[in-house]
C-alpha cells in the first residue's frame, strides 16, 4: 500500500501569510483578496482559499512587503476586519513516501 505525505517546504525568500475572518458570502474572494493587498501597494504571487472556509493563504511577490502586509491586520475587507499572520509557507505534496512504515 502506498501513502502520500504532505510536507511543508519553505524557501528562504518566500513569505506566506494566513488571511482570516474573510466574508463567507464572497463569490469573488480571490479577486477581492488580491485587490485588498494591491490597494495597499502589495503584490501577491499566489492566493489560496476555499469558499466554504472563512480564511485563505497568500504568498507575497516581494518578501520585503511582509511588515506592510502584517500591518493590514484589522483593516476591513468587504465589511470584515481581516486577521493576517505569518504561516510556515505553502504546502507541497510529494508522491510515494515509501510504504506504510512500521516493523519488518
pLDDT in tens, 31-59: 999 999 999 999 999 999 988 899 999 99
Cβ atoms of 61 and 44 within 8 Å: the answer is yes
- Provide CB contacts within 8 A for 88, sequence distance 6+: 8, 10, 16
Q: Is 104 contained in some domain?
A: no
Sequence-distant (6+) residues with CB within 8 A of 6 are 91, 92, 93, 94
pTM above 0.75, yes or no: no
pLDDT category of residue 11 using cuts at 50, 70 and 90: low
Q: Would you state the pLDDT for residue 89?
A: 55
- Whether residue 18 lies inside any domain: the answer is yes
97 part of a folded domain: no
Expressed as residue numbers, the domain containing 24 is 4-90
**Residue 95 falls within a domain, yes or no?**
no
Ramachandran category for residue 40: left, alpha or beta (phi over 0 → left; psi -120 to 50 → alpha): alpha
Number of domains in the chain: 1
What average pLDDT does this structure show over 59-67? Answer: 96
Spatial neighbors of 17 by CB under 8 A, at least 6 apart, are 57, 58, 59, 60, 66, 69, 70, 84, 85, 86, 87
With respect to residue 63, please indicate whether it lies within any of the assigned structural domains.
yes
Residue 64, domain member (yes or no): yes
Q: Average pLDDT in the 9-19 region?
A: 77
Residue 73 lies in a domain: yes
In a domain, 78, yes or no: yes
Q: Domain containing 17 — which CATH number?
A: 3.30.70.330
Amino acid at each position: 500500500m502506498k501513502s502520500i505525505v504532505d510536507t511543508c517546504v519553505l524557501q528562504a525568500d518566500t513569505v506566506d501569510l494566513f488571511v482570516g475572518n474573510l466574508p463567507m458570502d464572497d463569490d469573488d474572494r480571490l479577486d477581492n483578496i488580491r485587490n485588498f493587498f494591491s490597494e495597499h501597494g502589495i503584490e501577491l504571487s499566489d492566493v489560496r482559499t476555499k469558499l466554504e472556509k472563512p480564511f485563505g493563504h497568500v504568498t507575497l511577490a516581494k518578501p520585503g512587503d511582509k511588515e506592510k502586509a502584517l500591518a493590514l491586520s484589522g483593516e476591513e475587507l468587504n465589511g470584515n476586519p481581516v486577521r493576517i499572520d505569518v504561516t510556515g509557507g505553502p504546502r507541497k505534496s510529494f508522491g510515494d513516501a515509501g510504504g506504510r512504515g512500521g516493523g519488518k
